[in-house]
Amino acid sequence: MDSSDRAPKRPSRWWYLVFGLVVASALAYVLRDGPKHIPFSEFVGLAERNELTGTLVIGEHRVRGRAVSENGDWNFETFAPPGVDVVALVQGKTPYTGAGLEGSANWLPLLLAGALLVLVIVVLVAARTRGNAAVSAMPFSKHGAKVLTERDTMVTFSDVAGVDEAVEEVREIVDYLRAPERFEGLGGRIPKGVLLVGLPGTGKTLLARAVAGEASVPFLSISGADFVEMFAGIGAARVRDLFRKAKAIAPCIVFIDELDALGKARSNTSSGSSEEREQTLNQLLVEMDGFTANESVIILAATNRPEVLDHALLRAGRFDRHVTVDRPDVRGRLEILRLHTRNIRLGKKVDLAIVARRTPGFTGADLATLVNEAALLAARRNRSHVGMAHIEDSIDRVLAGLERRTRLISPREKGVVAVHECGHAIVASELPHADPVHRVSVIPRGANVGGVTLQLPREDRQMATRAELLDRIAVLMGGRVAERVVYDDLSTAAANDLQRATDLARRMVVEFGMSERLGPVNVSAGATVRFLKQEPGVKGTLSDETAREIDLEVRRIVTTQEERVRVLLTERKRRLVAVARVLRDRETLDARQLRSLLDAPFKKKTPDPTT
């Protein structure tokens, strides 16, 4: 234990006793000449026995003087009853003076006593403040981690699905904590730290809790933000206290959630907040280096921003193993859905395999929300079972947001929205590399001011070809072009489509090397990475000519796809108007209904959808 962890010494009680004796002596000195108050009858007795000495001071009601007795001289004070002549009582026996005493009491001893009392209080408070300053801060330096056991977590690997590779990676930790001699006998050692990396909602915390439940060892859980404090040195003290507790109850697991709040890369700034965070990070690095192989303390940490972590944390010997917890594939989604529907009353027609295929890109948290929303929706509609329709509506709600049916839309606006969304839908249905349309609606959802066209890919994909990216841009431009083809005018509904199309085209140019003008070069070194998703950026050292070429190439890609869509929708204008009129009336069309409308023969001229 270092000196910073020792409890500060309190002032000695002997010191208090000595200080009290000094104060008492001072008070006795101040009050030693203070008069003793005696009854008037005793004063009369002193006068009759001639025991008065010195000169009496006689006021209107008060008498003060000095008396002589066996114990020596002493001062006294008394009050004369009304009508009593004190002068006649002592005349001829004791000299006296008539100086008045009323309102002229000697307040000096009382003032000195009060001043000494205030001084005592100030000294005691200062001593306690100095002696107990660190003691008062000790509660802040406690780690605050929750110590859980397998009974508290109630989670095992059977409750984790869709991340089989990650489970296999961390299963070794469980085997080591259960039987460390099997690994140590072969000369191997378990990694000191395991970093779980993945998008939000992929199950990093759940996986850590499952490790604790399987290993049957104490599990200390804390967030990286719990170490951050406004007081200097508190974060480092909490780190020391956490690892001291872990060593005391080893074997155990220390889980630090949101590690990026604690382990951000150190910078050259000298602000107080950054210095405090860096002290905390330095203490964590020291504690991780201080472990030995036989302490049986495993550190698990989770983050969705590994790019901001300090390199010293990620080097060998600290977080030796990095486990990626990715989005589940279709088989993993099916397993997750089966887990979350164990306590849900599903209808006979519900096919979870179909739901898994219709939810590509969903994380475990998204699927849990989907199942819960379906159950709530079925209860709201007074159904005894959760049907496929409830799940379909829940998918739309998770993807696009809640329906806003109370939003008032004029008939003309509704017709424009119908044409806009049908433009997206028809282009997506006609292009060979576009994702098929799942549902198209004119009902606003979430923050959207217009309708929504939902596309679901046919399969899980980890990459995209140039043709697929161009078709995505074309689908995004479909709504804007449809408005121009039908109305020969434009609306503000395409603002978000234009932004997404431009961003995608820029990534094709600066990241993917898919530009004919710039060739196979990557100029996105200035791009930023947030939450495992890269945002497009351009290297700051580019020349003005190259930057201009990038802008021209992005514009060329977008305008080329716009012209491609214009030709396609102009040829299908009558079909576009017919489908838009049906969509305006029905408000929502699914994939089957849309396909039947696109394949239906024309019988007569279709009216404008806004009339």
Pairing of strands 52-58, 62-69: antiparallel
**Quick check: bond before 457 cis, omega within 30?**
no
What is the C-alpha end-to-end distance of the chain, expressed in Å?
83
DSSP assignments along 298-312, one per residue: EEEEEES-GGGB-HH
In DSSP notation, 139-179 reads: GGGS---EEE-HHHH---GGG--S-HHHHHHHHHHHHHHH-
Nearest 5°: CA angle at 556, between 507 and 488?
A: 115
Pick from 296, 297, 314: nearest CA to 305:
314
Q: What's the CA gap between 554 and 546, in Å, rounded?
A: 12
Residue type at 303?
Answer: T
Residues contacting 541, CB < 8 A, separation 6+: none
Distance between CA atoms of 329 and 462, rounded to whole angstroms? 10
Starting at the edge strand that comes first in sequence, how are the strands of the sheet with 437-441 ordered?
452-455, 437-441, 588-590
Residues with active-site annotation:
421
Under 8 Å between Cβ of 314 and 303: no
Neighbours of 499 (CB within 10 A): 11
Q: Can you say whether the dihedral through the CA atoms of 267, 268, 273, 276 is positive or negative? A: positive
Buried b (16+ CB within 10 A) or exposed e, 166-177: bbebbeebbebb
Q: Give me 422's structure tokens.
A: 């049908």
Contacts of 58 (CB under 8 A, 6+ apart): 86, 87, 96, 97, 98
CB-based contact 241:286 (threshold 8 Å): no
Distance between CA 423 and CA 400 in Å, rounded? 18
DSSP assignment of 208-260 equals HHHHHHHHTS-EEEEEGGGG--SSTTHHHHHHHHHHHHHHHS-SEEEEEESGG
Region for residue 54 given its phi and psi (left: phi exceeds 0; alpha: psi -120 to 50; beta: otherwise): left
Q: Which three-class secondary structure state does DSSP give residue 80? A: coil
Reported as half-sphere exposure (CB side, CA atoms, 13 A), residue 539 has a value of 12
3-class DSSP state for residue 462?
Answer: coil
Write down the residue that tokens 């219709």 correspond to.
358
Distances (CA, A) of 474 to 439, 557, 570: 18, 10, 14
Contacts with 597 (C-beta within 8 Å, 6 or more apart), sequence order? 578, 579, 582, 589
Burial 107-117 (b: 16+ CB within 10 A, else e): eeeeeebeebe
Longest Cα separation, the chain: 147
